[in-house]
Amino acid sequence: MTGEQYPKIYLYRRLVQAKLFIDAHYADKIDLSNIADEAYFSKFHFIRAFKNIYRKTPHQYLIFVRIEKARGLLKAGIPVSEACYAVGFESLSSFSKLFKSIAGITPSAYSIQQQKIKTQIAEAPLTFIPGCFAEKKGWLKKEQF
Amino acid sequence: MPFLCVNTQHKRMITKMTHVSIYVTDQARAYDFYTNKLGFKVITDVPMPNNDRWITVCPPEQPGFEIMLAPINRGLFSKETANALKELVEKGTFGVGLFTCDDIYATYEELKAKGVEFTKVPKKEFYGIEAIFKDDSGNWFSLAQLV
């Protein structure tokens, strides 16, 4: 592989490592300046290079990951306040506000919605599967198809 | 000639593809691969009879396209056919599709760091920059940053 085919390999590796660090430590108190230092970037250069690749600043990406993880917890039935602190937020009100701006729905409404879907899945799992596949797999009687 | 008039209400026959099956050798392992390594989202995960699961995932920005993680040993095939299919999948016979990304070098580095096996590193082609990787079963995909 030549340098021309695969440019700035070390730059990419450092940015990817920073992203993976956020993925792994989103629940901790992350100081993004430290990540920039560890990636051998000036803070300004780091933010710009990160945004070029991921379309979000490191801070925006951290918030996004936390909200995505919170969605998973709410889906699993974890209460809103517990999910908020588990993903690294320190304030319930900022969590709710950010959750709504990203997910388009409040955390409590999302939780209710997901629990309703879970109940529907438990009561009528076949309604979530295209009938033709269910029939082919023998999950559905032919006369119901 | 009225019969030649274009009917704007005309219903097209096929409009889009919504589901596709990928045959996997171990559904639970494939679930981990597609969600935790590729970063796909789970659309449906429904328990079915005989300890089966109906699992569909999608690329993060394509929620309308469901990829079914279909275990080869689900009982759709005879034992002989399932064994033959498993062998073919594992030896990398099937190129299943093409995924696109914004920045192939960053995506390549991230997937490689997560242990994804590449059979082609990113290379400039006339249609863009392309790499090839395999899933945990042996199905291979093109990963491209198209021009």
Strand partners, B100: B144
Q: What pLDDT is attached to residue A143?
A: 38
State which fold the A9-144 domain adopts: Arc Repressor Mutant, subunit A (1.10.10)
pTM greater than 0.90 (yes/no): no
Element (H, E) at A69: helix A58-75
DSSP-H helix ranges across B1-147: 27-32, 79-90, 104-113
Judge whether B12 lies within some domain.
no
Give a yes or no: residue B57 inside a domain.
yes
Q: Is residue B59, in this structure, part of any structural domain at all? A: yes
Q: What is the pLDDT of residues A40-94, one digit of tens each?
A: 678 888 899 999 999 999 999 999 999 999 999 999 999 999 999 999 999 999 9
Distance CA A36, CA A64 (A): 19
With respect to residue B61, please indicate whether it lies within any of the assigned structural domains: yes
Which of B19, B47, B106 minimises the CB distance to A12?
B106
Residue A28 exposed, middle or buried by CB count within 10 Å (0-12, 13-18, 19+): exposed
Which of B48, B110, B122 has its CB closest to that of A20? B110
Whether B66 contacts B55, CB under 8 Å:
no
Residue whose pair of structure tokens reads 């290379």 in the numeric block: B123
Residue A139 has pLDDT above 60, yes or no: yes
Length of chain A: 145
Q: Mean pLDDT, consecutive 10-residue segments, chain B of 147 residues?
A: 57 90 96 97 88 92 94 87 97 97 95 97 95 98 95
**Over pLDDT 70: what percentage of chain A?**
85
Note whether A102 and A64 are within 8 A (CB).
Answer: yes
Q: Is B110 on the interface with A (CB under 8 A)?
A: yes
Asked if pLDDT for residue A37 goes beyond 90, the answer is: no
Q: What is the CATH number of the domain that holds B125?
A: 3.10.180.10
With respect to residue B4, please indicate whether it lies within any of the assigned structural domains: no
pLDDT value for A145: 32
Distance separating alpha carbons of residues A51 and A57, to the nearest angstrom = 5
Residue B46 at interface with chain A, using a CB cutoff of 8 Å: yes
Query: Considering only CB atoms, which chain B residues are within 8 Å of A53?
Result: 102-103, 106
| pLDDT value, residue B51 | 78
ipTM of this complex: 0.81
Per-residue pLDDT reduced to its tens digit, B3-34: 555 555 667 799 999 999 999 999 999 999 99
B72 lies in some domain: yes
Q: Residue B106: inside a domain, yes or no? A: yes
pLDDT at residue B88, as a whole number: 98
Rounded percentage of chain A residues whose pLDDT exceeds 90: 60
Whether B1 is covered by a domain: the verdict is: no
For chain B, the domain total comes to 1
The answer to whether residue A3 scores a pLDDT higher than 70 is: no
Domain that holds residue B100: 17-146
The letter for the amino acid at A41 is F
At how many degrees (to 10) do helices A92-103 and A58-75 cross?
90
